[in-house]
Structure 1
Amino acid sequence: MSRLPPLLWLQAFETAARTLSFTAAGQELGVTQAAISQRVRLLEDRLGQKLFVRHPRSLNLTPAGQAWLPCLQDAFTRLAEGTDEVFGGGEAPVTLRTTPVVQQNWLAPRLCAFRRAHPEVALRLVSAIWPDDFGPEGADLEIRYGQGTWSGMEAVSLGRETMLPVCAPALAERITEPADLAEHTLLHAVGFEVGWPAWLEAVGVPTLASRCAPLICDTQTMTLSLAALGEGVALTHRRLVESRDDLVAALDLPVDSDEAFWLVRPARAPARPEAVMLWDWLTGQLDPESG
């Protein structure tokens, strides 16, 4: 059996010892005076010592109770501080979920500006790698990739998307036409690998992929990192590299995508004011002519 008594007993003692009243302790904890008295008696039985000297109209702590109270209060304080440190105090932060590549290449600079404008709003970012990682549970807002047709969700397009092959500047100097890609590694992201066949077909070389060395990664973040290091050519969306200087277009042949990035939130659940503030900020950053 654990030597630590039940938390309810400890709360009853700490509150009664602080107020020197079972009645006041019951009012603070939302229980009856009799419940406090019973919990304290059970605690005393467990410890084998009396904690209070009971008088007809008052209470006093015994020497054992006086000695133990500071230790117990310190433990409650440390527990509260630890809870705040891990889970945060006050209102829960606004949670925004999206893929790592969107976080790093599109969202980060916009969130920096939002935090400067609204430092009072606590934010929490959550990464989603696979389509199944998305869903309304646990997130106030999401940025998803698709056609914007998710049941029960309100979606605002971040704009029309084009797919573009990108690589390190030094490598781009050796690529002047699509056929030149046969001499280089094509970097595929799982879940987006259909992009390369679609792009190659659109630019007139549908069978070229079979002549290229493939390197498959589980995230677009990794394909872009490898491309920046000169390890191959990645296919991505123009908006995800428009602010980077370590990647350039291998060929200026953008191909329209029938899918796009969408800012998404549950349609039926009432949004918290802080979440509405972030939603309005992000939608306000969109180019009205890009949709």
Structure 2
Amino acid sequence: MTGLPPLLWLQAFEAAARTLSFTAAGHELGVTQAAISQRIRLLEDRLGQKLFVRHPRSLSLTPTGQAWLPCLQDAFTRLAEGTDEVFGGTPDAPVTLRTTPVMQQGWLASRLPAFQRAHPEIALRLVSAIWPDDFGPEGADLEIRYGRGDWPGMEAVSLGPESMLPVCAPSLAEAIRAPADLARQTLLHAVGFAVGWPTWLERAGLAGLESRCAALTCDSQVMTLALAARGGGVALTHRRLAEARDDLVAPLDLAMPTEEGFWLVRPGRREARPEARQLWDWLVARVSDEAG
């Protein structure tokens, strides 16, 4: 093999490997599924190795594809960072902070006004992300992510230990005196967390109870908390988010620690803009002050 494969082929592989879907990769890159498939096939011919295993209704990466993907993603990230460093944005571009909607509402909303009063000259822009794949260094100066803090190439500061506990509307809490009382309630599930209702109920000595309860599953905590506040069921959420609301109560004081948590994150290799550094330093100091 001589030379680097065409960029369009590399983009097609990165998008398809990340989404494990030629169709989704096509939507992302603005081309058809057939175009993605053709570019991948040409790339595999050029490299002399298969990158994907084609199943009847799904895709998976070959060991070669798995090994190559992080290298390619790192190269794209370095290219984006280098372009930004050389050409940059406008000097007065807002500082962009990306996080989940529930963290925007439950944690940032009570803190950012103080920063804005202290630094009225710094413009801020908040961007929402729900799924892990929504996050990344492109387009954001800072992020608040949920996980274990082990993102390659990123500097991460923990917002503190986390625990999960049930919350509901005050009117509903009167009927919940013990964990077994949850059997008569609708359990509101938010996908994407290591600690969910099955794990919490097992810790409470009621393994399998969720299978006997009415259930409603949402793709974000924003909706489960909104439903819970309106008496639509019992949500499982983070203690820090529950404490930030006055329309929810914890009927049971049984919080389960989780190894996952919220982290303030920024790219580790890129030199931050002065305005972004000021927001980072201010948030880190606020977290330290609140931790005591």
Q: For 1:83-94, what aligned pairs fall within 5 Å after superposition?
A: 91-94=92-95
Take 1:273 and 1:193, find their aligned partners in 2: how far apart are those partners?
36
Q: Is the 8 A contact 2:102 2:222 kept in 1?
A: yes
Task: Tell me the equivalent position of 1:217.
Answer: 218
Take 1:175 and 1:289, find their aligned partners in 2: how far apart are those partners?
31
Deviation of 1:204 (Å): 1.1
Q: For 1:128-143, what aligned pairs fall within 5 Å after superposition?
A: 128-143=129-144
Deviation of 1:192 (Å): 2.9
Take 1:290 and 1:277, find their aligned partners in 2: how far apart are those partners?
20
Distance 1:171 1:193, change over 3 A: farther
Distance 1:203 1:147, change over 3 A: same
Deviation of 1:248 (Å): 0.4
Q: Is the 8 A contact 1:165 1:234 kept in 2?
A: yes
Percent of residue pairs bearing the same amino acid type: 73
User: Residue deviations 1:36-64, cap 9 Å, x none?
Assistant: xxxxxxxxxxxxxxxxxxxxxxxxxxxxx
Deviation of 1:190 (Å): 2.1
Task: Tell me the equivalent position of 1:24.
Answer: none
Deviation of 1:244 (Å): 1.2
**TM value normalised by structure 1:** 0.68
Q: For 1:178-193, what aligned pairs fall within 5 Å after superposition?
A: 178-192=179-193
Deviation of 1:286 (Å): 1.1
Q: For 1:230-245, what aligned pairs fall within 5 Å after superposition?
A: 230-245=231-246
Establish whether residue 161 from structure 1 lines up as the match of residue 166 from structure 2: no
User: Residue deviations 1:20-51, cap 9 Å, x none?
Assistant: xxxxxxxxxxxxxxxxxxxxxxxxxxxxxxxx
Question: What residue identity is the alignment partner of 1:210?
Answer: S
Task: Tell me the equivalent position of 2:122.
Answer: 121
Runs of 4+ in 1 over 6 A off after TM superposition: none
Question: What residue identity is the alignment partner of 2:103?
Answer: V
Take 1:287 and 1:210, find their aligned partners in 2: how far apart are those partners?
41
Count of residue pairs brought into register by the alignment: 204
Distance 1:193 1:162, change over 3 A: closer
Task: Tell me the equivalent position of 1:48.
Answer: none
Q: Is the 8 A contact 2:195 2:258 kept in 1?
A: no
Question: What residue identity is the alignment partner of 2:238?
Answer: H
Take 2:136 and 2:162, find their aligned partners in 1: how far apart are those partners?
23
Q: For 1:258-269, what aligned pairs fall within 5 Å after superposition?
A: 258-269=259-270
Q: Is the 8 A contact 1:160 1:290 kept in 2?
A: no
Name stretches of at least 5 consecutive residues in structure 1 with no aligned partner.
Answer: 1-87
Deviation of 1:287 (Å): 4.2
Deviation of 1:172 (Å): 0.6
Please give the secondary structure, in 2, of the residue aligned with 1:105.
helix
Q: For 1:12-51, what aligned pairs fall within 5 Å after superposition?
A: none
When the two chains are superposed, the root-mean-square deviation of aligned CA atoms in Å is: 1.7
Establish whether residue 107 from structure 1 lines up as the match of residue 81 from structure 2: no
Structure showing greater radius of gyration is: 1
Q: Is the 8 A contact 2:165 2:256 kept in 1?
A: yes
Take 2:284 and 2:271, find their aligned partners in 1: how far apart are those partners?
18
Question: What residue identity is the alignment partner of 2:188?
Answer: L
Take 2:244 and 2:235, find their aligned partners in 1: how far apart are those partners?
16
